Amino acid sequence: MDFLYLTIITLSPILFAVIILLLPKSRGEDARMLALAAMLIGPVLSAYVYYAYRMNLPPDGTPWADTLMFVEEHGWVPSIGLNYIVGVDGMSATMVLLTAIVGLGGVIISWSISDRPREFFAFFMLLVAGVHGVFVSVDAFLLFFFYELAVLPMYVLIVVWGWKERREYAAMKLTLYLLIGSFISFIAFLVLYFTPVDGGEALRTFDLRIWSQAHFPFNIQMIWFMPLFLGFAVLAGLFPFHNWSPDGHVAAPTAVSMIHAGVLMKLGAYASMRVGIQILPEGAVYWFPFIIILTLINVLYGSFIAMRQRDMKYLIGYSSVSHMGLVSMGFAALTLVGFMGAGIQMVSHGVMTALFFAVVGMIYDRAHTRNMDELSGMSKALPWTVVAFIIGGLVSMGMPGLSGFLAEFPIFLGVWQGHNLNFNGVFGLNPSNYYQIVAILAILVWLLPPLIFYELFRRSSLVNTTLRNGTICDPFSALTRRL
């Protein structure tokens, strides 16, 4: 029997969560060590899985089902087509590694947590297990199961350990948005389960390998693509369903914010791509000219709202909405380059936003405020955090040589190349006009991140006098004040 890499990566945090909960109350210190041990297993095994996949990449043109590696398949309720099937392709192997790294970072950042550490780390383990599970699932029902497993611990973690002023509101809002979204997606799953395919019988299975090779009727694709895609895209923060996200970021404790923005939002984007776009591609082609407009609003609206924030967590929360809009935009471009950019953006933003929230958590633990008006002199008091924040800021603005450029440039290129989209039919726009709009928006998107961080930079003693005097940035500052 082969070594069960993916099962161990996914289920070991659940086992450790149970062990942590069984510890006596007086042994909170052991809970930390056990959580660290659980989170060290993930990076080691997922790094091996990633390396093995990287060394054995399937050639282009291989059907998706044959690109999967480390596949494990066991019957769950075979009579109704429910099976435990896990495996990874190139995208999910990368996301599993990202989840493991961010999970480990989350435990490290939460090391000093003193309020009920056993329960905190146990729920954190469940959250990480749920996220891993979604990325490795090759069965739609299993994916849905792990998706719910990832959402529910978030509620408890925010309500119990979150920011006192907003935690109940934010946790309830987040849970309602995500559960309603997943419920709608699940209805679409059932439709696909019962739909006759190619004039024959219904598939009566949730196996995504079979779904990915089936051709669902065009009418079914047109009607059910949107519920399926949008149900998951809620978690990716797609406009206008993004509203739960910044509140969730702000109210959550640092480690949960890291997982939330670092990998949980990617989970929505991944599921909407893997299940929505891959299974119902004709529905995707039909609806993406509309969805790409939502993603443009996502990017711009998120950036503009971020500029008005004085709370560092809200600022990062709204910039996350903007960056996740770029992921959806990459998908909506319908080109290989756009998809590549979206995939890299998921990883880049995952690490970048985990870094941002880690920095804000460290500052808040020491300064007891996240308000930028009350913070100054951080470069002397906490130089490590300032350097890390500037690196994150440069990634965020798409600086060449950093991961943000590698992600965002292909997305814009992909949108530019997406000339197969028929925008005339949808918006009455001439395609050349549309390209101009995209070009202007692209320039704006590249300019906005520095504006987002301008106020913070202005207060830092690391920046030069020109910037501090505001001679360069004042017009932009005036713009943000007007908004």
Partner 1 sequence: MRPILGIDKAALIGFSLILILIGVLPILIAPPIHSGVYPVVERLNEAQLVVQSSGGTVSGAAQDLLHTVTASVLSWFGGV
Binders in 279-318 for partner 1, by CB under 8 A: 281-282, 284-286
Q: CA 298, 265, 451, 393 torsion: positive or negative? A: negative
Say whether residue 21 binds partner 1 (CB under 8 A): no
Closest distance between partner 1 and the C-beta of residue 23, in Å?
A: 21
Say whether residue 347 binds partner 1 (CB under 8 A): yes
Kindly report the backbone phi and psi dihedral angles of residue 72, in degrees, each rounded to the nearest multiple of 5, phi listed first. Answer: -125, 135
Closest distance between partner 1 and the C-beta of residue 465, in Å?
A: 26
The span of 50-58, 137-145, 201-209, 300-308 binding partner 1 (CB under 8 A) equals 50-58
Q: Burial code of 73-111, b = ≥16 C-beta within 10 A, e = fewer?
A: eeeeeeeebbbbbbbbbebbbbbbbbbbbbbbbbbebbe
Q: What is the CA radius of gyration of the chain?
A: 22
Which helix H or strand E contains 70, and what residues bound it?
strand 69-77
Say whether residue 384 binds partner 1 (CB under 8 A): yes
Say whether residue 278 binds partner 1 (CB under 8 A): yes
Residue 91 or 171: the one with the smaller Cβ distance to partner 1 is 91
Residue 82 or 406: the one with the smaller Cβ distance to partner 1 is 406
Contacts to partner 1 from residues 416-435, by CB under 8 A? 420, 422
* 83: DSSP letter: E
Distance between CA 356 and CA 99 in Å, rounded? 16
Interface residue with partner 1 among 92, 205, 320, 460 (CB under 8 A) is: 92
Say whether residue 236 binds partner 1 (CB under 8 A): no
Interface residue with partner 1 among 24, 61, 240, 475 (CB under 8 A) is: 61
Contacts of 327 (CB under 8 A, 6+ apart): 236, 266, 269, 342, 345, 346, 349, 411
Say whether residue 94 binds partner 1 (CB under 8 A): yes
Residue 371, beta-bridge partner list:
311
Q: With contacts defined by CB under 8 A, how many residues of the chain interact with partner 1?
A: 77
Residue 33 or 440: the one with the smaller Cβ distance to partner 1 is 33
Say whether residue 462 binds partner 1 (CB under 8 A): no
Closest distance between partner 1 and the C-beta of residue 169, in Å?
A: 29
Query: For the chain, how many residues are written?
Result: 483
SS3 at position 84: strand
Interface residue with partner 1 among 296, 342, 451, 452 (CB under 8 A) is: 342
Interface residue with partner 1 among 131, 170, 271, 352 (CB under 8 A) is: 352
Contacts to partner 1 from residues 214-233, by CB under 8 A? 218-220, 222-223
Q: How far is CA 48 from CA 72, 73, 323, 347, in A?
A: 17, 20, 29, 18
Residue pair 226/156 in contact (Cβ under 8 Å)? The answer is: no
- Whether the upstream peptide bond of residue 240 has omega within 30° of 0, thus cis, is yes
* 345: DSSP letter: H
Say whether residue 243 binds partner 1 (CB under 8 A): no
Residue 301 or 418: the one with the smaller Cβ distance to partner 1 is 418
Q: How far is CA 188 from CA 83, 139, 193, 212, 251, in A?
A: 19, 14, 9, 15, 32
Residue pair 289/426 in contact (Cβ under 8 Å)? The answer is: yes
Interface residue with partner 1 among 93, 154, 174, 235 (CB under 8 A) is: 93
Say whether residue 351 binds partner 1 (CB under 8 A): yes
Interface residue with partner 1 among 3, 44, 111, 437 (CB under 8 A) is: 111
Interface residue with partner 1 among 184, 293, 340, 462 (CB under 8 A) is: 340
Say whether residue 75 binds partner 1 (CB under 8 A): no
